[in-house]
Amino acid sequence: MSHHSERKHALLGASKAGQWLACPPSARLQEGIEEKRSEYADEGTLAHELAEVKLRRRLLPCNSAERKRLEAKLKEIHADTRYGPEMENAVQDYVEIVEERFMAAKARSSDAVILLEERLDFSEWVPDGFGTGDVVLIADGIMEIIDLKMGKGVPVSATGNPQMRLYALGAINGYSFLYDIREVHMTIVQPRLDSVSTDTISTDGLLEWADSIVRPAAALADAGEGEFKSGDHCRWCKVKATCRARADANMASLADEFRNPALLSLEEVGAILFVAQQLKTWANDVEEYAFEQAKAGRRVPQWKLVEGRSNRAITDKEAAKTKLIEAGYGLDKIMKPQEMQGITELETKIVGKKLFGTLMDGLITKPPGKPVLVPETDPRQELNSVSSDFANENFDT
């Protein structure tokens, strides 16, 4: 059983594939810069461990020693401060999806195989390339890779996802001599966003992609060569704030977008909004970097650290209360009544999603959100005419 937290990160790991495929020299540029481990990463690790224990108990034969080991592991997970009803429910949803897919695979062929936390080696295409697949299912001509993502920010799509494709390559590489695998299904399950997305590719198509796109990009990345290229993949790059290629690209788009006649057309405004989003992200990254440097005592020329605004706070609430009561102010004047926890807090941390839904049936309303402008590719339904939909709303923010 692999240790999730000790997963070794190769220079050209699958999880960073989006980056080094698009911008090969970024891999060596980030080498040696320490990864900031976030609480989200640790929480994700724990959730994967929980999922693995649940799946081993439910889907694989366990002798008494194995049962004991899993029981002990489960106790350890339950004792972790990051574990709670929200994680339990999310992981349970994922486990049920995996179980469904495994049953479907067994229906296709009785000798279907399920592999958990399998080390997948794709080093034939990527130097030292390997990764750990959460679940690999193999049955009658079809192999399925399933990956659990605990993020609750952005839904991650499996479509054309290079991380999933590299896992699939590793699995094909390891098992195609035992099974005749003609097509690969890649599924990402993101239980906190109720998102399940699957992409399908033929084995031939996958190998063609590996030879024509992955192999050359990986060779460049390994050698620290190739062209720097900025884009969405910059988001997780460790040198994103000081990367010259990204700065040049942003400066160029500025020069390009803002040079024509006095007034911009709506077409131009639409195009500029995309540039503005990129610029905003870039500006935030540069600001954050400069702030971190200054905090560490490195001087950023022309800038200095100063004390920001702060709010006053009462140091001893009890003493303050006594003083006010002695001065003749009643409790009803100086105290707020008890406030109820917020919906998210109650639902995820205190009650748990399913029970909360039952208890609160008919007691929760969701007013229409304020309109927001988003790219056309956003999956949400377009509002008809804002003037009629929001005639009596007041948007003074």
Give the SS3 label for residue 201.
Answer: strand
Buried b (16+ CB within 10 A) or exposed e, 101-133: bbeebeeeeeebbbbbbbebbbeebbeebbbbb
User: Which of 94-103, 135-144, 148-157, 261-270 ranks highest by mean pLDDT?
Assistant: 94-103
User: Which of 250-264, 280-294, 366-380 ranks highest by mean pLDDT?
Assistant: 280-294
Strand 130-139's sheet: what is its strand order? 113-121, 130-139, 142-148, 183-190, 195-202
Q: Give the mean pLDDT of the chain.
A: 85
Q: What is the pLDDT, as a whole number, of residue 101? A: 94
Task: Give the tens place of pLDDT for each residue, 184-236.
Answer: 999 999 999 888 999 999 999 999 999 999 999 998 888 888 888 888 888 77
Q: What is the pLDDT, as a whole number, of residue 368? A: 83
| Residue 183: both structure tokens together | 């097509």
Select from 25, 165, 185 the least CA-distant residue to 104: 185
Task: Give the tens place of pLDDT for each residue, 327-362.
Answer: 998 888 888 888 888 888 888 878 887 888 888 888
Strand 142-148 and strand 183-190: the pairing is parallel
Q: What is the pLDDT, as a whole number, of residue 7? A: 42
Between CA 231 and CA 249 the distance in angstroms is 9
Q: What is the pLDDT, as a whole number, of residue 386? A: 53
More confident: 240 or 258? 240
Task: Give the tens place of pLDDT for each residue, 271-307.
Answer: 778 888 888 888 888 888 888 888 888 888 888 888 8
CB 124 within 8 A of CB 103: no
Q: What is the pLDDT, as a whole number, of residue 155? A: 81
More confident: 34 or 2? 34
* pLDDT above 80 for 393: no
Average pLDDT over residues 56-84: 91
**If you count them, how many residues does the chain have?**
397
Residue ranges of E strands in 61-129: 113-121
Q: What is the pLDDT, as a whole number, of residue 135? A: 94
Q: What does the DSSP assignment read for 238-300?
A: TTTTT-HHHHHHHHHHHHHHT-SSSS--HHHHHHHHHHHHHHHHHHHHHHHHHHHHHHTT---
Buried b (16+ CB within 10 A) or exposed e, 137-174: bbbbebbbbbbbbbeeeebbebeebbbbbbbbbbbbbb
Residue ranges of E strands in 95-221: 113-121, 130-139, 142-148, 183-190, 195-202
Q: What is the pLDDT, as a whole number, of residue 300? A: 85
Q: From residue 167, how far is each of 276, 306, 320 by CA, in Å? A: 35, 48, 61
Q: What is the pLDDT, as a whole number, of residue 348? A: 80
* pLDDT above 50 for 47: yes
For residue 332, give every residue at least 6 positions away whose Cβ sits within 8 Å of its Cβ, in sequence order, or none: none
In this prediction the pTM is 0.70
* pLDDT above 80 for 395: no
Q: What is the pLDDT, as a whole number, of residue 259? A: 60
Select from 143, 128, 199, 216 the least CA-distant residue to 174: 143
More confident: 305 or 94? 94
Between CA 348 and CA 261 the distance in angstroms is 53
* pLDDT above 80 for 88: yes
Cα radius of gyration (the chain) = 26
Q: What is the pLDDT, as a whole number, of residue 256? A: 64
